[in-house]
Amino acid sequence: MKKKKTGLHLFMAVPAFALYCVFFIYPLTKGIGMSLTNWNGYSAPEFVGLKNFVDFFHDARALHDIKTTVLFTLGSAPLLNLVGLLYALLMNSKIKGKSAARACIYMPAIISPLIMGYIWYLLLQPGRGILFTVFDRMGHPEWFGNWMGSYTTTMIVLVLVNVWQYAGMTMIIYLAGLQNISQDLYEAAMIDGAGTFARFRRITLPLLIPSIRINVITNIIGSLSVFDIVMSLTGGGPGYQTETLSIYIMRMCYGSKTGYSTAVAIVMFVIVLVPVLISLRLMKRKD
């Protein structure tokens, strides 16, 4: 009977395994093979071994793009989790108008990041943007600086816009986790004399580990693969200062360097995979 159940379980797993092979294993192996060639997307590929990877790590522009992508992630992922958790704690409390507030917080997440980037571009454009016009009408145009004029301020703007748009998605996951925590635990802790911070540290955080795991991993992946918001808001500028790896891959691919861009995509896959595996490992220890 046990063998029959095992055979049935294996048979039922075949469709999922087949889809996994078709949509992940095959593209990955095909991409690895393509990354070892000098191919422009049209003519026959020429095998060049690891040359594409060597060229990538000797390209100052590519290394700067790695720096930009990592800095964006270091700013965006923690802030998304912090702001999302604060929103969730607020929405889980007894305040009026929670339903409307949740809708307003989550609404930016359903808008295309490309459109969102263009909206913020119209708001922040120096000299003729909406916010500049408002300050100009007030008689103080000097209050509005050129936020997109330097690398540091541009990165801050990109991080804040990304957090503003996607904090609602993080909030929803945290809110679901908070609502699954039994109120009996809080009542027992209050009877024992535990304060607000002690209840948060001893009850809320440990029981939110599954939600934290989901949010940390999805935010890391989303931040490291950011494309739309940067492309629409800065175009990777000024110059190539805010160009991310995703934009670099796209430009190399359309620049008749398909083999090279595939090699960069493999590097990006590893860059995304490493922090995700580390996060999973740390979260497993917390469990």
Its pTM stands at 0.88
From the list 203, 221, 208, the residue with the least C-alpha distance to 283 is 208
More confident residue, 267 or 141: 267
Q: What domains are defined for the chain?
A: 60-115+148-286 (1.10.3720.10)
Identify the H or E element spanning 38.
strand 37-38
37: three-class secondary structure by DSSP: strand
Give the DSSP letter string of 152-166: HHHHHHHHHHHHHHH
pLDDT band at 3; cut points 50, 70, 90:
low
Q: Phi/psi of residue 212, each to 5°?
A: -60, -40
Name which of 59-68, 125-134, 169-178, 269-278 the model is least confident about: 125-134
Taking 60 as the threshold, does the pLDDT of residue 287 lie above it? no
pLDDT of 225-265, one tens digit each? 999 889 888 888 777 889 999 999 999 888 788 899 999 99
pLDDT of 17-46, one tens digit each? 899 999 989 998 998 999 998 888 788 888
% of the chain beyond a pLDDT of 70 = 95
User: What burial letters (b/e) apply to 93-124, b meaning 16+ CB within 10 Å?
Assistant: eeeeeeeeebeebbebbeeebeebbebbbeeb
CB of 111 within 8 A of CB of 224? no
pLDDT band at 167; cut points 50, 70, 90:
very high
CB of 274 within 8 A of CB of 49? no
Residue 268 has a pLDDT of: 93
From the list 87, 2, 34, the residue with the least C-alpha distance to 252 is 34
